[in-house]
Amino acid sequence: MIRMHIAFALAAAFAAGAVASELTIFADGAYKADIVLPAAPNGVEKLAAEELTYHFRKAFGKAPEVVGEDKVDAVRHPFHIYLGTTKAATAAGLPVGKLADEEHVVKTVGSGLYLLGGDGDTTYDEAVDWKRVAMRGTLYAAYDFLENEMDVRWLWPGETGEVVPKRAALVVGALDRRAQEPLLVRFYYGGGYKVKTGFASDENAQAFFREQKRLLLRQRLGKRVDIRSGHSFAQWWKNYHEKHPEYFNLLPNGKRMPHRTPTLCTMCVSEPGVWKQRVEEWRRWWANVSRQRHAPCPWVNCCENDSPALCTCERCRSWDGPDPRFEKSPYWNGSMAKDFDETWLGRKFTPDIGLSAGGRWVLPRTPWSDGERAASLSDRYVRFYNEVAALAKQYNPEAKAIGYAYANYIDPPLKTRVGADTVIIFVPRSYFPYDDEEFANFRKQWGGWVKMGATRMVYRPNYMLACGNHPNDTARRILPDFAFAYTNGMFACQQDSLTGAWSAQAMHLYAMTRAMRDPLRGYEKARADMLSGFGKAAGTVNRYFDMVEANSARWTSESYRQMGMKNITRDDVGGTFRNPNAVLGDFFDDRFFSDCYAILDEAVREAADDAAVKARIEFLRKGLRDTELGRQCRIAQKARAADPNDTAKKAAFAAAFKALVDYRASVEGDFVCDYSFHANWERLFVGWPHKVRKDSQLR
């Protein structure tokens, strides 16, 4: 029966005078093709049909017909777009049921366009949520078609970010593409509504997160396997310190105890009891999760707590590489021991290992630290991972140990090779600026790890955290390194974090997000994608993005550090990822805003009567205006702080803050920014009086 349909459809196509290698989707104001689903479609196929329908309606002005395969009418439509595991696809010789997870195919055969992929047993609910482990091959085939045959682009959340060129007709030639997502994991941490602040209305917050989710789905963020990682010893002090003090770092004061907070206490990683305890915990965990749908990798999470590693014990030290910085360092050479408790215990930073949060700027240049790195503990950590992997493999041949290259163990090891069963998560030392020094350093470090045996690595940068919700674009500098990582062992990417500054950082976020599914594509093509949404104003908008990029590029790590040290608020150095607002007064000048507005005004004039382009230009203006108001708020706050008894200055700060909050309320429905994320930082680190809403109903 199916074969007859196909034969009939082919005959109809020839009768209509179509060339065999061409397939008409739309012509003469009508669809020549329908969308055909299997008689019992899976969740991914249903979602793919919805997405095709949505974009076809925008492109052609009307919705296509979507039918089940058992109801195809070959007379009404001479051509067919077959989605997923149709019988027609099997009959046409496509690899139905043989595609790998997240693999997809776009192929024409006769009068049929076949869009299918490896969907596993993914449900609709899993498919729509990019954060969940799910195989979305058929959906990706649909997106491939929309992007490559219809020039659709998704620039930012919400409708103004959807670029869907209008078409009077669409005829496609022979197509034959097959591909799988190159990275197993394409992931941003964050991206949800956690602290109920920043948004004036629940509806707007809800709409923002819904549209952000949709955008990231379209950009193919997702994962085909779950890798459990992240600072993993936070509860150890609480759970084990009474019975097993030997698990914990020995400080220069001769005590095994937390340097600051118990959850940040680091381990004595050369202690065999630590390996055994960790593997025991892992076995309990695995017994539980291995039965789950989409069980994670059976890997032992050895990621250390979020602190520089601190154990000074003789055995740990004997595992370290021959790094001359140990001898020069007061922390490691013993000279800090005498007054350690009085001077250093409980402090956020010690002068020579002062990582991690913001450490790149608080670490002064000294004879024992080059201002970027302290004595390296990588050798001891690699050996720790290797030991745990060997122990775990006694219980499960698939086991591996996964651990960080991080903080003061980010340099490549000097003498200890990374074992075949150790997976390294590389966390670059910085997030801003991405200057020449950073560029050189990244290659040296990543390349060094590869040389020492780390052939499979997870890239886990913090670059997305840079510059709060302010105009910033360093993607042109980052992406060549991202490509370098990909050609040197990167198999997964987990970025910290999605801060959702879609307007102010439009170009940066687009380029970074787009790269996760195509690590070798580079920045220029991403810029071209972005400009495709600006019609006649594209050249002028290009200058706007250049301006943003230039302001980011004018900072070196040294000048940024100096600016940060001049803007310490609540014991937090300015310009760190949590405290970008402290430096707002200095990071931009008045001229930046007036120049940017002038360019955007010019772009609006060029856009003439193109309402969609004008809406996109106005979208860019909103993030800029928000930052300008934030900057005025910070300047007023500093003036008040310098003169606390001046009531006029107090009132000026209150007025500036109100102007910011009122403005946000007026634009928060336009998907400009995740205002909850940024207001929370403004509240906690620079002390702006945002209210946490008690009335919010959202979870």
Q: Minimum distance from CB of 300 to Zn ion (Å)?
A: 19
Interface with Zn ion, residue 313, by CB under 5 A: yes
Question: 37, 92, 94, 268: which one contacts Zn ion (CB under 5 A)?
Answer: 268
Interface with Zn ion, residue 311, by CB under 5 A: yes
Q: Minimum distance from CB of 265 to Zn ion (Å)?
A: 12
Total residues at interface with Zn ion (CB under 5 A): 4
Query: Are 501 and 509 contacting, i.e. CB atoms less than 8 angstroms apart?
Result: yes
Query: Are 445 and 412 contacting, i.e. CB atoms less than 8 angstroms apart?
Result: yes
Work out the burial of residue 334: count CB atoms within 10 Å of its CB; fewer than 13 is exposed, 13-18 middle, 19 or more buried: exposed
Q: Minimum distance from CB of 384 to Zn ion (Å)?
A: 10
Q: Minimum distance from CB of 363 to Zn ion (Å)?
A: 23
Q: Which of residues 88 and 309 has its CB atom nearest to Zn ion in the complex?
A: 309
Residue 269: φ, ψ to 5°: -75, -15
Interface with Zn ion, residue 310, by CB under 5 A: no
Q: Minimum distance from CB of 416 to Zn ion (Å)?
A: 15
What's 694's DSSP letter?
Answer: S
Q: Which of residues 26 and 247 has its CB atom nearest to Zn ion in the complex?
A: 247
Among the candidate windows 116-124, 268-276, 477-485, 622-630, which touches Zn ion by CB under 5 A?
A: 268-276
Question: Residue written as tokens 């302290």?
Answer: 374
Q: Which of residues 408 and 552 has its CB atom nearest to Zn ion in the complex?
A: 408
Across the strands, what pairs with 187? 494
String marking each residue 215-254 x if it binds Zn ion according to CB under 5 A: ----------------------------------------
Angle at 371 between CA 233 and CA 269, to 5 degrees: 25
What's 479's DSSP letter?
Answer: H
- Closest by CA to 401, choosing from 417, 389, 387, 418, is 389
Across the strands, what pairs with 400? 299
Rounded to the nearest 10 degrees, what angle do helices 611-642 and 506-515 cross at? Answer: 110
Among the candidate windows 146-154, 229-237, 315-323, 432-440, which touches Zn ion by CB under 5 A?
A: 315-323
Residue 677: φ, ψ to 5°: -60, -50
Q: Which of residues 228 and 317 has its CB atom nearest to Zn ion in the complex?
A: 317
Q: Which of residues 143 and 381 has its CB atom nearest to Zn ion in the complex?
A: 381
Interface with Zn ion, residue 407, by CB under 5 A: no
Interface with Zn ion, residue 91, by CB under 5 A: no
Amino acid at 230: G
Q: Which two tokens stand for residue 200?
A: 């004036």
SS3 359: helix
Q: Which two tokens stand for residue 365?
A: 């240049």
Cis peptide before 21 (omega within 30 of 0): no
Q: Which of residues 311 and 672 has its CB atom nearest to Zn ion in the complex?
A: 311
Helix (H) or strand (E) holding 549: helix 538-553
Q: Which two tokens stand for residue 695?
A: 């009335």
Q: Minimum distance from CB of 424 to Zn ion (Å)?
A: 21
Q: Which of residues 87 and 383 has its CB atom nearest to Zn ion in the complex?
A: 383
Give the burial string for 45-57 (b: 16+ CB within 10 Å, else e): bbbbbebbbebbe
Q: Which of residues 272 and 539 has its CB atom nearest to Zn ion in the complex?
A: 272
Across the strands, what pairs with 634? none
Interface with Zn ion, residue 316, by CB under 5 A: yes
Task: Supply the DSSP string of 152-209, one letter for each residue.
Answer: -EE-SSSGGGEE----S-EEE---EEEEE-SSSEEEEEE-S--SS-S-S-HHHHHHHH
How far apart (Å, rounded) are the C-alpha atoms in residues 600 and 594? 10
Q: Minimum distance from CB of 644 to Zn ion (Å)?
A: 47
Q: Minimum distance from CB of 317 to Zn ion (Å)?
A: 8
Q: Minimum distance from CB of 312 to Zn ion (Å)?
A: 7
Q: Which of residues 31 and 248 has its CB atom nearest to Zn ion in the complex?
A: 248
Q: Minimum distance from CB of 267 to Zn ion (Å)?
A: 8
Rounded to the nearest 10 degrees, what angle do helices 538-553 and 506-515 cross at? Answer: 90
How far apart (Å, rounded) are the C-alpha atoms in residues 493 and 458? 6
Q: Which of residues 86 and 386 has its CB atom nearest to Zn ion in the complex?
A: 386
Q: Which of residues 220 and 259 has its CB atom nearest to Zn ion in the complex?
A: 259
Interface with Zn ion, residue 257, by CB under 5 A: no
Across the strands, what pairs with 67? 36
How far apart (Å, rounded) are the C-alpha atoms in residues 30 and 566? 65
Among the candidate windows 226-234, 276-284, 306-314, 674-682, which touches Zn ion by CB under 5 A?
A: 306-314
Q: Minimum distance from CB of 692 to Zn ion (Å)?
A: 42
Which residues have a Cβ under 8 Å from the Cβ of 368 and sit 6 or more positions away?
A: 325, 328, 329, 330, 352, 374, 375
Q: Which of residues 272 and 364 has its CB atom nearest to Zn ion in the complex?
A: 272
Q: Which of residues 385 and 486 has its CB atom nearest to Zn ion in the complex?
A: 385
Q: Minimum distance from CB of 338 to Zn ion (Å)?
A: 21
Q: Minimum distance from CB of 345 to Zn ion (Å)?
A: 18
- Contact positions vs Zn ion (CB under 5 A): 268, 311, 313, 316
